[in-house]
Amino acid sequence: QTKTISGKVTSPENEGVPGVNVLIKGTNVGTATKADGTYQISVPDKSGTLVFSFIGYKTADVTIGNQSTINIQLEADLVNLNEVVVTANAIVREKKELGYAVSTIGGAELVKARDPNVLNSMAGRIAGVRISQQSGTVGGSSRVMIRGANSISSSSEPLFVVDGIPISNSSFNNSETDVVTGGVDVGNRAGDLNPDDIETMNVLKGAAASALYGSRARNGVIVITTKRGKQGAKKMNVTVNSSYRTDNVLRVPELQTEYAQGNLGVYNPQSGNGWGPKISSVTGPVKDYKGETVQGLQAYPQNWKNFFVTGHTMINSVSLDGATDQGDYRIGYTNLRQTGTVPGSELNRNTFAINAGKKITDKLTSRAWVNYVRTTSDGRPQQGSNTTNIIATILAGLPVTVDINELRDNLFAPSTQAVPVGWTGDLARSIDLNGVQNNPYFVTAFNRFSNTVDRVYGGTSLSYDVTPWFNVTGRVGTDFFTENRRAVTRKGTRGRLNGQFETNDIFERELQTDILGTISRKINTNWTFKGIVGHQFNQRTIRRSRLLSEGLNIDQLYTFANAQSNVPSNFFSRRDIFGVYGDFSFDYKNYLFLNVTGRNDWSSTLPVNNNSYFYPSASVSFVLTEAFPNLGIVKNDILSYAKLRANYANVGSDEDPYQLSFTYNPLTQASDIYTFNILYPIGGASAFGATNILPPTNLKPQQQTSYEFGAELKFFGGRLGLDMTYYKTLNYDQIISIAIPQTTGYSARRLNVGEISNRGLEAMLTVTPFKTRSGFRWDAAFNFNRNINRVESLAPGLTEFITTSGDGFGIFVVARPGETFSIQGVGWLRDPQGNIIINPTTGLRTPGPRKVFGSIYPDWTLGINNSFSYKGIDFNFLVDVRKGGVINSQTVSIVRGSGLAAETAIDNRTPFIDPGVIRNADGTFRPNDKPVASIQQYWSQLDNSVSPENNIFDGSYTKLREVRIAYNLPKSWISKTPFGSIALGVEGRNLWIISSKVPHIDPEANVLGTGLIGEGLERGSIPSSRTVGGNLRFTF
C-alpha cells in the first residue's frame, strides 16, 4: 500500500532549498521541493530509497523504512560534477564533457560589488583574462584580452555574445589621432551590459571553444546568459537591488611645495612650472600670476586633489519574475546615475530587460528577449596631448603658488582688476596673463563632450522537438544602436579661440540568424551521440557621419548656421558572412567525450574567387575518476575528481570590408604634424587623393591554429582543486598592411604575411583551508597566467613593424621577429659596462641609438581571492598582481620637467653629479665628475623628447582590487516580514596600490583605447578612481 512521506530539504545554512529533485530510486516517480524546501511524495512501499539531488549539492540517498517524515540537510558538493556551462550558440553542455578551458562568473558575483562597466568585475578572477581600464573617466572603456595578442595590426578583443547573439563592443574612438591628440574616452559598448540582468558570464578562452561562432571567436568569447524567470514560492518574485558608491581619485602626482614658477631660480609669475625661487624667499610686494601685487607667495600643495571631486554613483534595479511549467518571464529595470571625479562629468543609464519563454505545445517552445539601454553622458574630459583642453596636462603645469580654488571661483566672477599689459583674456578662461593655458574649470564647464546611446539588442527563438531525440531551433537576433555625440569648444578657448563643435552620428547594426538541428541518441549502452548541424547568416553595418563646425559667430550657439565653416564627412560599411557548421560529440560511458566541429564561411570582404574557407576543431575529455572508480585514492576521496582534456582548432577569418580595390578618396583636409589643418574646399577647390595602401592581389583568409592541454583535479572532496591549461596559438597568413617605404608613394601594402604566437600556462588553484561544522569557511583561489607572446615572422625583408607610434614623445610600439611587442625609443648612450655616458661640458646625459625598453605585456599575472563565510556573512578580498612589462608615462615626464614633482625639490636643488662615466680621449671611461649646471636642466633634459628612457617604468604592481562584505539576514529574522530575503553589502574597488614602480600615477593608466594595438603609453590620463560603496538587496 502506498504511504505519504513529507519533509523539508535544507541547505548547510539551514535554509529551505526549493526545486530539489526527490526521486524514488530506480523509478521515474518523483517530485520537487517547494519554495520553502518542503515536499510531499507518495511511495509504494517502505523498502524503497529516496534520492535527493540538486545542482551544487551532493546527492543524498535515504532509505524510507518506517519514516513518514524525512528531513534532510544537503551537503555542498565542492566537486560539482554536474556543473553545466553555456557554450557556443546558447548550447548548454555539462562541463565535464568539454575538452577546453572555460571559466564562469556567476551573476551573483557581479552584483555584490557592482561596477558600471561589468568587464571590470572580471579583473583578477579568471586566469588568462586581462582587463585594463583606459582611464578614470565616467563610463570609461575597458580592454579585455584573452591569452595574449593574436594580431600584429588589429585589436585582439574577444567576441561578446548575449543569449546566443553577438553584440558589438566597438567604441569608435580608436583612431590613433583621436586618442593620442586629445581624445575623449567614450567607453566601449560592452560596458552597456547591465550586471543585474546577467545570470552567468562564461569565458571561452580558446578558439576550440568557439568554432561555431565563426572567425571572430578566435580571440576568445565572452558568453553571457541573461536571467530568466524562476519558479518560486509566489507567482511573482520581486527583487530590488540598490547600491550607492563614491569615487575618489586613487593617485595624483606628489608635488613639491617649496618652489615658485620661473626660470633658473628667477621668479616669473607667468611661467607654468616650478623652476623659480624658493617660495619662502619671495617676500614683500611681488606680482602674482594674475598680475596683482601680493605680499609674498604661498604654496597650495593640494591643487590636484582639490580639483578632482568625489563622484557619486547610484544603481537601483528592480526585477519581477516568475515561472510555471508552461512558461517563464522576467522584467528588469535598472537605473544608474553617476557623477565622475572630474567636475561636471556625469553618466546616466537606464536599462530595460524582458525575457520570456512559453511552452506552446509539448513539442514547441518559444522565447523572446529584448534589452533596451539608453546611456547619456556629459562632460567626459579630454586626454592625450596637443590640445589645451587636456585637464591632466593643465594641472601638470600649474605652479604651486596658484590656488586652484581661486581659479574655480573666478570662473563666474572674473577679476575686476584693470587689464594688465599683454592680457588677452580673463581668469575665467586662462590661468596666465598670456592666455596660453586654459583655466581647467573653464574647460570642464564649457568645453563639453556629450553623447547619447540608444541601443536595443535581443532576439527570438522557436524550438521544435521533431522526435524526442531530434530538435530543430531557429533563432533571429539583432543588436543595433545609434550614438549621437557632440563636442563643443567655446569661443575664447586657448587653442581654439574662434570656438568649434563637432557632431558625430553613429549607427551600428549586427543581425544574425541561425537554424540548427540537434540530434541526441544513445547508440548502445556505452555510447551516446549528440550532433548539431546549423546554418548562420551574419551581417554587420556601420554608418557614421561627422560634421566639424568651426568659427562661431555667436558665442555658445552651437548651430551649423552659426559656424563659418562646416566640414562634413561620412562613412559606411557592410559585411556579410554565410556559414554552415556541424558539431558532433560522442560520449563513452559518461567519462570519455570526443567532439569534432567544422565550419565553412563565405565572406563578402574577401576576393570573390577566394572567399570560402573551412575550419575544423577536435577535442577530447576524459574523466579519470569515473573511469576508474575503484582506484584506492579515488575510493578514499583523496583524488575526488580528475579530468584530462585536449583540443586542437583551426580558425580562418576574413578582413575589413572594402580593402580590395584601388580607391580615390575625397579629402576633407590637408595636415601636417600640428593640429591646424587646411580644410577643403579651399579657394573653391575640392580635392581627392589616391589610397595610401596598395591593395592586395591574391588575398587568402587569415588562419589561426591552436591547441591546448588541460587537467582539472580535485582532492579531498574538493577542498583542494587545481585547474591547469597549457595552450599554444599560432596565427599566420595575417591580413595586414605592411608599412612599405613611403617613398614608394604608399605607406603600406596589404598582404597575407606575418606569424604571431602565444603560448602560456593558466592555473587556478582553489583551497579551502578551514571548514568547520559551525559553518565557518575560508576559501582561497589563486589565478595564475603566464603568456609568452612572440612575433614569429613578418613580411620577407621586413625587420620590424611599428604598430603604434607615440612618435612625438619619441616612443614606438614595435613588433620584431623573435620578440614580443615592445616599447622602443632612443636610449641614453652607454659604455660597454652599461654606464650612462655623460657629456663632459654640460654634465648631462647623451642620447644614443634606439633600443628596446621592454615588453608591453606582463610576464605573468596573479589574482588572489580570499573569501570567508560564516552564518550568512561573506567577507571577500581580491589582490591583483602584475609582474613585468613596461609603461611610458608622459604625465610623470611633464610634472618632472616642469619642476613640479616632489623629487625635483630634494636637497634644495643643489646641482649634483649624475652617476655615469665620461669618455676619455683614448676611448676609455672615467667616472663622471661634472655636476649638472642646474637641477632644472637635469630634469628638463629627462622630459625632453630626445630620449624617453627616464619615463619608462617597470609596469609591475600589486593592487588590492576589491574588498567586500556581504551579509544575508537569516531567514528566521525576516520570516514575519513580506521580504523573502535581505542582503546587505559593503564594497570597495581599486582600493590600494600595494606596490608599484611607477611614480605619481596609477600603473594601470593607459591612453590607448580598446581599438588600438599596444598598451603601456600614458599621457594626460584622468586618474583612476577608488570606489567605496554599499549595497542593499531584497526580494519579496
Partner 1 sequence: VDPALLFSGASTQFSLLRVAELTWPIALMNQMWASGGRWGLSQSQYDQTRIRSAWGRTYTDVLKNLNVAIEIAQNTQPVNKNAVAQCKILMAFAYAQTSLLWGDIPFTEAANGKVDFPKFDKQQDVLNGTIALLDEAIGLIDLNAKGIIAPNDLYYGGDMAKWRKFANSLKMRILFSMVDSDPTKGAAIGQLVAGGNMISSNADAMLYKYFNQPGRQNPRFSFTAIFRGGVQSDWYCSKPVYDLLVSLKDPRIPYFYQPGTDAAPNEFIALGPVEVYTTKSALVNMNLLKPDLPEVSFSYSEQLLFEAEAIARGFAPGGFEAATTKMRAGVRESMLALGVTAAQTDAYVAALPALTATNYKTVLAQQQYLDLFMRPIEGWVQHRRSGTIGQEVPAMTTPTGAPVAGLIRRLLYRSEEVNSNPNTPSGLTLDTPQWFDK
Give residues 789-848 in contact with partner 1 (rule: CB under 8 A). Answer: 797-800, 802, 807-808, 810, 841-842, 847
Q: Which one among 571, 614, 688, 770 touches partner 1, defined by CB under 8 A?
A: 688
Spatial distance between the Cα atoms of 979 and 967, rounded to a whole number of angstroms: 15
H or E element that contains 882: strand 873-883
The C-alpha atoms of residue 291 and residue 309 are separated, in whole angstroms, by 29
Distance CA 658, CA 606 (A): 9
Cell of 94: 555539462
- Residue 388 or 650 with smaller CB distance to partner 1: 388
Site for partner 1 in 288-327 (CB under 8 A): none
> Is 911 near partner 1 (CB under 8 A)?
no
Q: Is 671 in the site for partner 1 (CB under 8 A)?
A: yes
Verify binding: residue 436, partner 1, rule CB under 8 A. yes
Strand-pair category, 470-489 with 500-522: antiparallel
* Cβ at position 941, least distance to partner 1 in Å: 9
Decide: is 697 part of the binding site for partner 1 (CB under 8 A): no
Instruction: Supply the minimum distance, in Å, between the C-beta of residue 475 and partner 1.
Output: 45
Residue 852 is a binding residue for partner 1 (CB under 8 A): no
Query: Closest CB to partner 1 among 680 and 716?
Result: 680
Q: Contact with partner 1 (CB under 8 A): which of 14, 677, 697, 977?
A: 677
- Residue 270 Cβ, how far from partner 1 at the closest point, in Å? 8
| Minimum distance, C-beta of residue 751 to partner 1, in the bound complex (Å) | 11
How far apart CA 721 and CA 861 sit, in angstroms, is 19
**494 lies in the site for partner 1, by CB under 8 A:** yes
Show the DSSP H helices in 447-564 as ranges.
Answer: none
Q: Which is nearer to partner 1, 620 or 798 (CB)?
A: 798
Q: Of 187, 204, 178, 196, give the one whose Cα is nearest residue 481.
A: 187
CB nearer to partner 1: pick between 494 and 643? 494
User: What does DSSP assign to residue 846?
Assistant: -
The residue (of 746 and 967) whose beta carbon lies closer to partner 1 is 746
Judged by beta carbon, residue 464 or residue 680, the one nearer partner 1 is 680
In whole angstroms, the minimum distance from the beta carbon of 406 to partner 1 comes to 20
- Beta-carbon count within 10 A of 711 CB: 17
Q: For residue 916, give the nearest of 907, 902, 903, 929 by alpha carbon.
A: 929
**Nearer to partner 1 (CB atom), residue 389 or residue 471:** 389
Which residues in 449-478 contact partner 1 (CB under 8 A)? none
Torsion angle (degrees, nearest 10) of CA 147, 96, 75, 9: 120
Rounded to the nearest whole angstrom, what is the least distance from the CB of residue 805 to partner 1 in the complex?
9
When binding is defined by CB under 8 A, the residue of 749, 790, 964, 1000 that contacts partner 1 is 749
User: With left for phi above 0 and alpha for psi between -120 and 50, is residue 365 left, alpha or beta?
Assistant: beta
Shortest distance, position 839 Cβ to partner 1, whole Å: 8
Q: CA-CA distance, 21 to 613, in Å (whole number)?
A: 47
Q: Which is nearer to partner 1, 69 or 799 (CB)?
A: 799
Return the residues of window 913-952 that contact partner 1 according to CB under 8 A: 944-946
Minimum separation from the CB atom of position 947 to partner 1 (A)? 11
- Closer to partner 1 by Cβ: residue 609 or 799: 799
Three-class SS state of 935:
helix
How many residues belong to the site for partner 1 (CB under 8 A)?
A: 73
- Min dist CB 489 to partner 1, Å, is 11
Residue 68 binds partner 1, judged by CB under 8 A: no
Q: Which of residues 255-294 bind partner 1 (CB under 8 A)?
A: 263-264
Residue of 4, 413, 468, 674 interacting with partner 1 (CB under 8 A): 674
Q: Quick check: bond before 1003 cis, omega within 30?
A: no
679 binds partner 1 (CB under 8 A): yes
DSSP code per residue over 13-75: TS-B-TT-EEEETTSS-EEE--TTSEEEEEES-TT-EEEEE-TTB--EEEE-TT-SB--EEPP
**Which one of 507-515, 587-595, 675-683, 784-792 is the stretch in contact with partner 1 (CB under 8 A)?**
675-683
> Is residue 742 part of the contact set for partner 1 (CB under 8 A)?
yes
Burial code (b: 16+ CB inside 10 Å, e: under 16) for 614-628 equals ebbbbbbbbbbbbee
> CA-CA distances (angstroms) from residue 1017 to 44, 320, 577, 822, 954?
73, 45, 36, 11, 12
The CA angle 1012-1017-1021, to the nearest 5 degrees, is 100
Using CB under 8 A, pick the residue from 42, 692, 924, 995 that binds partner 1.
Answer: 692
Residue span binding partner 1 (CB under 8 A) among the ranges 183-191, 416-424, 463-471, 507-515: 416-424
401 and 260 in contact (C-beta within 8 Å)? yes
Q: Which is nearer to partner 1, 348 or 944 (CB)?
A: 944
Residue 991 Rama label (left phi>0; alpha psi -120 to 50; beta): alpha
Count CB-CB contacts under 10 A for residue 289: 25
- Judged by beta carbon, residue 208 or residue 390, the one nearer partner 1 is 390
Nearer of residues 339 and 447 to partner 1, judged by Cβ: 447
Of the candidate residues 527, 560, 572, 676, the single one contacting partner 1 (CB under 8 A) = 676
Single out the residue of 55, 364, 638, 670 in contact with partner 1 (rule: CB under 8 A): 670
- Rounded Cα gap, residues 553 and 563, in angstroms: 6
By CB under 8 A, residue 424 contacts partner 1: yes
Separation between Cα atoms, residue 347 and residue 449, nearest integer Å: 12
Q: Is 946 exposed, middle or buried (0-12, 13-18, 19+ CB in 10 A)?
A: middle
Of the candidates 992, 995, 997, 994, the one whose C-alpha atom is nearest the C-alpha of residue 1024 is 992
Assess 564 for contact with partner 1 (CB under 8 A): yes
Binding segment for partner 1 (CB under 8 A), chosen from 54-62, 563-571, 587-595, 1018-1026, is 563-571
Query: Looking at 16, 327, 495, 911, which residue binds partner 1 (CB under 8 A)?
Result: 495
Residue 388 in contact with partner 1, rule: CB under 8 A: yes
Taken in order 182, 186, 189, 194, is the CA torsion positive or negative?
positive
Q: Is 418 in the site for partner 1 (CB under 8 A)?
A: no
Spatial CB neighbours of 634, under 8 Å, sequence gap ≥ 6:
625, 628, 640
Least distance (Å) from partner 1 to the CB of residue 919? 14
Question: Which residues 528-557 are close enough to bind partner 1 by CB under 8 A?
Answer: 550-551
Among 65, 745, 769, 927, binds partner 1 (CB under 8 A): 745
SS (H, E, C) 678-699: EECCECCECCEEECCEECCCCC
* Min separation Cβ 207 and partner 1, Å: 32
Question: How is residue 437 annotated by DSSP?
Answer: S
- In the region spanning residues 109 to 128, those forming contacts with partner 1, defined by CB under 8 A, are none
Stretch that binds partner 1, among 68-76, 574-582, 593-601, 737-745 (CB under 8 A): 737-745
What gap in Å lies between CA 599 and CA 207, rounded to an integer? Answer: 13
